[in-house]
Structure 1
């Protein structure tokens, strides 16, 4: 697929905002510290779109459906713009598939990078008190706990990141053809 610089720019900008929206969703699901300065920046960047949606779309339990809908809308807009800029056509079902699969792909990508940062921080600065490091720890802790129920740490060696990376990589490979 030949990509023009304009298409690349649209994809980068839209995917960057989608990353921030998904980060807000993950922070809410993991009940991360919202008084953290990084969390406050994420909330401020997404609130202009999330707050009006909350008036229309109620939350379901801990799931902020307004933020989830915003993530889908941003991904749908990305797919639409890329298809439009390529002078191509896609059936409505194709838009739905690319929107859902692309959003899941980017969510997995977010967790991949969070896991990578977490592993590097555990080597370089264990117990770091930087606001970003604390948020990464809060985001990845549920994944570690889930994996450690099946694969407990062996002495001082925790193998759960390896299996989490494998699972994320496998799922990303499945979704890769549908991500834009």
Structure 2
């Protein structure tokens, strides 16, 4: 019982922190400058981990790889903690599970951004965060918007994007157990 509660707390805290790291990566990849308070908060929360990593892993192709690698390292720490706690430590499996968790965080983050944009479009389309959320979703939704026209003024591309992200998530859930099997 204690392990489950501790594991829940660790996974929640690390998931939120990794979400900030991934949001930092995505904002820098899209060259989005959020409002000063939001941007400062995200960068201040993640600078402690990203800046030392940036000395080892410089950004190239216009991407901040240190943020992405930091998110992967956070996922590795979660699984290292869990494997050491349970006494079932096998490093290749930790690497694969951390990659799976990172991909899950990316998918859930994209889904959250799409849901937030959909809610904001109904509740308050002129909210200060709406343009930033729209810009973060643009690379994912604009190809779908070209394929799926709005029907009666309703944009169904977020719904299709959520469906496709769920499909990718399910495919990963099927593929990764087999990959873990081959690492053992």
TM-score (norm 1): 0.88
* 1:147 aligns to 2:144 (yes or no): yes
Deviation (angstroms), 1:34 = 4.2
Deviation (angstroms), 1:28 = 1.1
Deviation (angstroms), 1:127 = 2.3
Return the alpha-carbon distance in structure 2 between the equivalents of residues 175 and 40 of structure 1: 34
* 1:118 aligns to 2:117 (yes or no): yes
Structure 2: 5+ residue stretches without partners: 178-184
Does the 8 Å contact 1:102/1:175 carry over to 2? no
With CA pairs under 8 Å and 6+ residues apart, which has the higher RCO, 1 or 2? 1
- Structure with higher helix content: 2
Return the alpha-carbon distance in structure 1 between the equivalents of residues 28 and 64 of structure 2: 7
Does the 8 Å contact 2:80/2:89 carry over to 1? no
Deviation (angstroms), 1:153 = 2.6
Structure 1: 5+ residue stretches without partners: none
What secondary structure is seen at the aligned counterpart in 2 of 1:4?
Answer: helix
The aligned residue for residue 89 of structure 1 is 89
Deviation (angstroms), 1:118 = 0.5
Return the alpha-carbon distance in structure 2 between the equivalents of residues 164 and 111 of structure 1: 9
Q: What is the RMSD computed on CA atoms of the aligned residues?
A: 2.1
Deviation (angstroms), 1:174 = 2.6
The aligned residue for residue 37 of structure 1 is 37
Return the alpha-carbon distance in structure 1 between the equivalents of residues 16 and 118 of structure 2: 23
TM-score (norm 2): 0.86
Within 5 A, what are the aligned runs for 1:1-180?
A: 4-90=4-90, 92-128=91-127, 130=128, 132-176=129-173
Deviation (angstroms), 1:88 = 2.1
